[in-house]
Structure formats: C-alpha cells, structure tokens
Amino acid sequence: MVRSGVVLRRPRRAALAAVVAVAVAVAVPVAVPATGAAPAVAAPADRPWTNAALSPDRRAALVLARMTLEEKVELMTGDQGAAPSAFYNAGIARLGIPELRMADAGAGIAPRGWTLPGTGGSATAMPSSIALGATFDPALARVYAGVVADEAKATRHAMLLGPNADPSRQPFWGRIAESGGEDPVLTSALVTSYVREVQRRRVIANLKHYTAYTQEVNRGLGQNSIVGERALREVHTLPYEAAVDDARLGSVMCAFNKINGVYACESDQALDTILRRQLGFTGFVITDFGAIHSTAPSVRAGTDMETGTRAFYDGPLLAAVRAGQVPESLVDRSVLRILRTMFAVGVFDTRYPATAIPARRHGAVAGQVQDEAITLLKNQRVLPLSARTRSVAVIGGDANIASTIGGSARVQPTYQVSVLDALRERGRRTGMRVVHEPGNDPVHGASMIETADMTAVPSSVLTPDSGTGTGVTARYWATPAPTGDPGLTRTEQQVFYDVGFVGGSPAFAGLYASQVPATPTLGAPTGGNQAARYTGFFTAPRTGVYRLGLTGWGEARAYLDDRLIIDMTGADGRRDVRSAPLTLTGGERHRLRVEYASTRPLVGLQPGTLLLQWSTPAGAYAPSVQRAAAAARRADVAVVYLRTYETEERDRVSLKLPQNADQLVRAVRAANPRTVVVLATGGPTTMPWLRDVPSVLQNWFGGQEEGNSLTRVLFGRENPSGRLPVTFPRTERALPPGVQNPWDTIGDLDVEFSEGVNIGYRGYRAAGVRPLFPFGHGLSYTSFRYSGRPADTVRATGRDDTAYLRVRVRNTGRRAGTEVVQVYLGRLPGVGSPALKLAGFAKVDLRPGQSRQVRIAVDRRELSYWDSAGDRWVTPRGTVRVHVGSSSADLRLTGTVTVR
C-alpha cells in the first residue's frame, strides 16, 4: 500500500494577491455528516436564519440584522470562567445563538472541569503532535483528528483550540512537542488533514499560534519576532495557507509575540495583508490568553474575538464604538466572520450533549499512531528482542507512567499503559522475568532548568532529618521569611521548589505532568512570596572533588555542615551559582541546609523556582545508579527509559537529558552490552553516550498506549517506521546560524529569524553543520532499495502545475516493513533558495522481497518562491534538481524537474 504525503492544493486564482477580504467573503462549506445534527424543522418567521437551506453568509447576515450593538460586542468577547472550558463564549438566547465552548486540545481534550459518564474528567491521551509528525502520514492524521473531534463533541465543545501549526525553529522550545516538526511542507500536510477531519465532524478547528511563535522565554513580555516577509510566507504561514486552501479553516489564534515590532493580534501585515488578502482566510481570529494588548488597533487589524480575558473588548470596545473611535462596520465585520463560520461548520445545527467516551476503541487509535511514530535512531544487532528473552531490566524513574507534555496541552488519560506495565504483562504471559530499578528520580518542572554541565542532586545521596530513607526534610512557610512554625513539613525526594504555571500550583494543577508531588502553596494561589527550608544529610558516593550549585530565581543559600557554600541572592532573573570545589570522602555524611524565598519572580506565572545541582568526579555513581547497573547485569537485556519534562511558559535551559540520565546510561551499558535506550522526549536531546549504546528508540510523548506500542516494537511485532520531523544536533552549540538558546538572550526581546527560509535541516546544510541525526532519519528492522530516474516537466503557469515523480522501492530484507520515501528539491534557478527542501513524501508498505512503484506529487508551489516586492508567488523557469531518499542525508536517487 502506498500512502501519499504531498499537499495537493487547488489551483490558485490568478489575482489572489489582489483579492480584498470583505466581511461576507464566501468559502464553500465543507461537507459534514448528519451525525449529531439537529432534526430539520421549518424556520420560524422571527428566526429565518434557522433555515439550513440558506447559505452560511445569508444566515449570518440575517442574524446580524437583528443584533443590538451590545449583543455584537458580547459575541466578540469571551466569557472566561462562565463554563468548564478553556475558552468560552456564551450564547445569546434571544436570537438562538448557541454557546461556543472551546477545548484546549491538539493531542486530546484537556481537563477543564467537565465530567463524563464512566471517565469523569479524562479523555484519550493521543501521542503528541510531534509524534504524529514522525509518522509522516496525513491519512493517519485524519484518524487521529477524528478521535479528538469526537471527544470534543462528547465533552460539549464545538471548537478545538488546535492543532498547532508552528514549525519548530529551535530545539529548546518548551512546546516543541505540540508542533508537527521543523518542515513547513510536512506540517502543512498533517495540519490540513487534521483540520479537514475536525470540521467534517462539525467542530471548528482553531489553528495556532499565528505566527512566527517559536519560544516561551519572554512570551508575555513583548517578545518580538523579527522575520522577513519571504520567510513568513514560505515557512511560518505556509501551514495556515494549506489549511485555508484545502480544509476551509474556520479559525486562527493570534499569538503572544510581536511580529516585526507589532503584536500579532494587532498586526495589519499578519492578519489583514497576509492571512486575509493573500491567503484568502474567511474565518475568525481569536486571541491567545492575554495576547491582546489594545482595542481599536486589534479590531482594525482583524482580531474578531477576545478570549481568556475581557480587558480590551467588552466594555472598552462598546465605549470605543459609541465614541466614534471604532466604526460599527468593523464590529459587524467581525460578527459576520464568527457567525458565518459557526453556520458553515454546523455549530448552529448540531447538538453537543455530554456523551461517554469509548475509551478502549479510542485508546487503540492512540496505540496505532504511536506504533507508526516510534523512531529507531540506532540499532546494532540488539533489536528486535527475541521471543526467547528470559529477563528484562527496566531502568528509569519514569518508566512506570506514560509520558506526556505539560501545560494547556496536557490530557488526563482515560487509562495509561507504561512500558513497565506492558513488559510485566508480557512477562506474565510468557514467563519472562521483568525487574524495575528506577536508577534516577522522576522528572518535574524544575528539570527544565538543569544546566548542561550539572544535574539535579539525586535522592539516593540525600537523607532526611530522621536519618533514614532518602530525600530531605522540607518545611514551608506562607511568608517570605521562615519565621514561626512552618505551615507544612514533609519529605521531598530532591531539593527543588517550583510553583506557578509550570510547577502545578493549585490554579494550574490540571497542567502539571509529573508524578512528583507539586510544591505546596500556603499563601498566594500561585505560590509567590513563600519561604522553604530543606534539611538533612548529603553523602558523597565516592571520594573526590564535587561541586554543588543552585539555579533558579528567588533568594537562596546553601550550607554544608553549617558553612555557607552557595549564595544565590540579590539579583533578579535566572541565576546559576556554584560552590567552590569540595573534596569529600565517599560514604561520609554531611549536614545539608538550603534556605529559599520566592521573592524574585521570573515572570508573573513563574513566581519561584529552585534546583540543587551537582557535578561529580568520574565514576562517582549514586546508590540508585549502582542498583540499576546491578539489575542490568543480571538481565538478558536492559531497557533504559528516559524522559524530559516539557511545557509551555518555559523553555529548556539545556538539551541534556535531566535527572542524572547520561551517567545512568553509561553505568547500565557498562554492566550490560545489550542495552536499549528509550527517549520519551518532545524533541532533540544530546547523547554523549551514543557511540557506546547499541540501540536507541525515539519514543516522543507517546500517549496512553505508549507502553504497549513500545513493547510491540521492542519485540518485533511492529517494525518501526517513524522518521524524525526535527533535526537532532550533536551538541547544544552545533546549531545552524540564527538559532540560539533563548535563555542566553533573555534580556533581549528581539528574536531575529536571520536564517530566513533556511529553517531546521535547511540551515544545517547551508552552514555545513553536521547533525547527530538528520531530518527524516529513521531505521527499520528490514532494508529497502530504490531504483528509477525521477523526472517530470511542468508549466510555470496554467493548469499543468503538479510534477509526478516515480521511483521503485523494494524490500530487500526478511521482514515486512514500511518505508517513507522522501523527495527533496535543490536550488531554484536564478534565485537564492534552500540547497535542499522537502517537497513531497509517501509511505509504502512492503512484504519481504516485494517491490512497488511509488508516485509522489510535487506541487508547483514547492517549485516557487515568494516575491516580496511583487507580493506574489513566482515559479522560475528552468531545471530543478530532485533528490529521492530515506532522509535528508540519505539521498538514493537524483533526477530533475523541468519548469517551462
């Protein structure tokens, strides 16, 4: 079976650049099934818009004619907190305008107070969006989106705040797991399928975050994306264009950042010129939470609905219209866009009652997606594991839960299967012995601020005041000074403090994605202006020179044997303070005390964060690591499961795996040469141990069926077919030009997209920087051979605007497998352009020895560039090199496309 993955757009209108987006611009509504539709009834005379035979534009105009100014403004203003939804717009009963519940979503419906029979506040946790990107499968994206859309309806939501269409520009991004990857063509193909299926099921899709939004540092402080028009059109808005062209996208969310000095929600260039005039978007624009900063400029630019807050529309908008500062015609324009979209998608004609989720059936879809997402990065004769494997040591503090991203994208699963659960179940059926030795501590929000050269002090070298067990005694005060009796005393496994949005304070508990108990908040709901004291004992595992360090924000001091060794006080912003070198004797206890006050917030949503780190002499393995190595030594194979904590609002300080992971891998590999490392991460990590480890699987955040999928891949029931949708760098500094760690430039609000159109692998190639693993990379348990000479001729204008390339692929191995055939274009003639860019792809399933001819379509758009001076796409005539292969660095065949 061949599954095409190219974006096939309808032919563009010749004068598209000159089209003016007017209030009643028409897009043909997508066909929707009758399921969930309200029964057809005759329209009453006082509500003619209920006649479903009328066009969406006519119905919207009829409603508008009956609305008061106050009702129009109310429709443009969200009603946050009035219902259990992420965002909510109340209905207008007088006119029969239904409520618009909007679900935080992407990889499932996030818990926001709703409850369902049988599953309560849980929904199906699908693999992350970047895992979907790793499937390179738009057809599977439709199946994925169908589950999410059905559960949106089941939870009474008529609008989905997703998917995310932001190409991932840099690897430190805390939301990289919400992205489909770094390539705009791949992202476009997946997003278009997703949007089409969601809206086919009568749920409005809201594509986010528009646009050039690629980091969390400074996101609410005026972060300014400085990006050229060509890069905007060819990279950052291309997925939006595809969704508008091919899926009649209903809604867009304007982002937190500025674009070339103007906030996204009031940018004429982004919203009016590009989105509406050039892309032809006819839906409505909503704001991200707090992303709006004005009334009149936002309305004029085309922001139609304020959601999350009521700060700039509501009363201020009503007053601005009455004072003549905002013409009522602009209000009418926004109201028509909202109403027309609701009619076109079917919201007026559909009921959204709370219904039960088919947990097992939808869970099976999550497993199907994860089967195709798992990416085999390296394999040297270890995988697949033999059915005769007698024992497996499962290593990792988070191997007992399924991984997930934090923040608004987090889903509370209907059930979850960890890799430990799944391997134990296999052991129960086959007699295989499975042992679990954590080896390291579970991740939490403070894991995101670990530095590249240190790691969190593990619990196994810490002892609380009682003198037994692991961890430290923690005391918390509701005041900024530790005076009087503490409000709470408990044992914490590590010295860390993290409150606010990322840390899971009570106001944000539904966003927290760690099995580690959240830091308590005794005073303010977000945990600011509190004090904490951590006491106990620290024991060096081996004699040598150590350093301890504190990193985070707030006021902190660390004492060893009552001697001050670290003073992290007196400055705002993130700090990283280390002790002098400490010569310690192995096995000798030292009294440890760390005092902290969350009095210097990084930003409002991150009032306090602290982490105690260390660096150790070579071979100084903590007791937990030693136990893991011993367990691995006694097993046939060791599976080391490692994950990161990732979320919006915070970028990762380092690409290093947290919680002592690198040391753990080295120790386990030294104990057992048959070691498999599983990386449950949202994006790239560094792997200093890669040369010595035989097999590495990239698992992503795998959803609630993660463990079953991993077990199927480990034992060969599924042949891995995932491909990297992002490039993995060798080191944190070996990045393409223009890409920086956002923590390094936190004092500068300007983010210069100096790479232009050379995003991701394009930039690596342009700069001659060799990555650790290239975009598109992914191994299989079988092998494939390519043959043929791909070539075609197309016209620069007119109807013959798609090139069709044909190659033959043969499975030359002994197992059935799936190959992802990737087509890349070379430079366009006569214009500066990427030396290599993805133009199309297809998946082909082959039995051993079987071959198929694969046809991949390359749209003329990929043979074109955006001419900023002329505000148009230009297709230069001439010959373009075509490369076909298994990744951006594994190109097997070369041909040409001639443009006449």
Q: Partners of 794 in the beta sheet?
A: 899
Q: Partners of 265 in the beta sheet?
A: none
Give the pLDDT means over successive 10-residue stretches in the chain (900 positions): 53 28 31 50 85 97 98 96 86 97 95 94 98 98 98 98 96 98 98 98 98 96 97 98 97 98 98 97 97 98 96 98 98 98 98 96 98 98 97 98 97 98 98 98 98 98 97 97 96 97 92 97 85 98 98 98 98 97 98 97 96 97 98 98 98 98 98 98 98 98 98 98 98 94 96 97 97 98 97 79 95 98 97 97 98 95 95 95 98 96
Residue 392, pLDDT score: 98
The continuous run of DSSP H or E covering 318 comes out as helix 314-322
List, in order, residues 6 or more apart from 550 with CB less than 8 Å away.
Answer: 556, 558, 566, 568, 575, 576, 577, 594, 610, 611, 612, 613
Measured between alpha carbons, how far is residue 235 from residues 163, 269, 837, 848 in Å? Answer: 17, 16, 11, 38
**For every residue of 460-498, which 3-state class applies, written as one string?**
HHEECCCCCCCCEEEEEECCCCCCCCCCEEEEECCCEEE
Describe the strand order of the beta sheet including 100-104 as a list of residue ranges.
87-89, 100-104, 159-161, 204-210, 251-254, 284-287
Q: Given CA atoms 109, 212, 873, 802 in this order, what sign does their dihedral have?
A: negative
- The residue ranges of every structural domain in the chain are 60-345, 387-441+622-642+655-767, 459-615, 784-899
Neighbouring C-beta atoms of residue 585, cutoff 10 Å:
12
Q: What pTM was computed for the model?
A: 0.95
Q: Which fold has domain 60-345?
A: TIM Barrel (3.20.20)
Residue (of 199, 162, 195) closest to 177 by Cα position: 162
Length of the chain: 900
Count of alpha carbons within 13 angstroms of residue 354, beta-carbon side: 12
Measured between alpha carbons, how far is residue 549 from residues 321, 539, 543, 581 in Å? Answer: 56, 16, 19, 11
CATH of 459-615, one of 1.10.3720.10, 2.60.120.260, 3.30.450.20, 1.20.1250.20: 2.60.120.260
What is the rounded CA–CA span in Å between residue 508 and residue 518?
10
Strands 802-811 and 851-859: antiparallel
**Strand runs (DSSP E) across 346-477, as ranges?**
375-379, 391-395, 433-437, 455-456, 462-463, 472-477
Give the CATH architecture of domain 387-441+622-642+655-767: 3-Layer(aba) Sandwich (3.40)
Count of alpha carbons within 13 angstroms of residue 564, beta-carbon side: 8
What is the rounded CA–CA span in Å between residue 153 and residue 201?
9
Residue (of 594, 556, 558) closest to 575 by Cα position: 556
Residue (of 325, 253, 210, 216) closest to 103 by Cα position: 253
Residue 91, pLDDT score: 96
Give the CATH architecture of domain 784-899: Sandwich (2.60)
Tokens at 204, concatenated: 């409005």
Residue 180, pLDDT score: 97
The runs of H, that is alpha helices, within 583-633 are 623-633
Q: What is the dihedral of CA 652, 653, 654, 659, to 10 degrees?
A: -80
Burial class (CB in 10 A: 0-12, 13-18, 19+), 149: buried
| Local structure of 350: helix, strand or coil | strand
In angstroms, how far apart are the furthest CA atoms of the chain? 89
Question: Residue 889 in contact with residue 774, Cβ under 8 Å?
Answer: yes
The DSSP annotation for 185-254 comes to: HHHHHHHHHHHHHHHHTT-EEEEEEETT----TTTTTT-EEE--HHHIIIIISHHHHHHHHHH---EEEE
Q: Cα angle vertex 171, ends 170, 174, to 5°?
A: 100
Residue type, 3: R
The runs of H, that is alpha helices, within 55-157 are 56-66, 69-75, 129-135, 138-154
Residue whose entry in the numeric block shows the structure tokens 């194979």: 637
Q: Given CA atoms 275, 276, 281, 286 in this order, what sign does their dihedral have?
A: positive
What is the rounded CA–CA span in Å between residue 54 and residue 845?
45
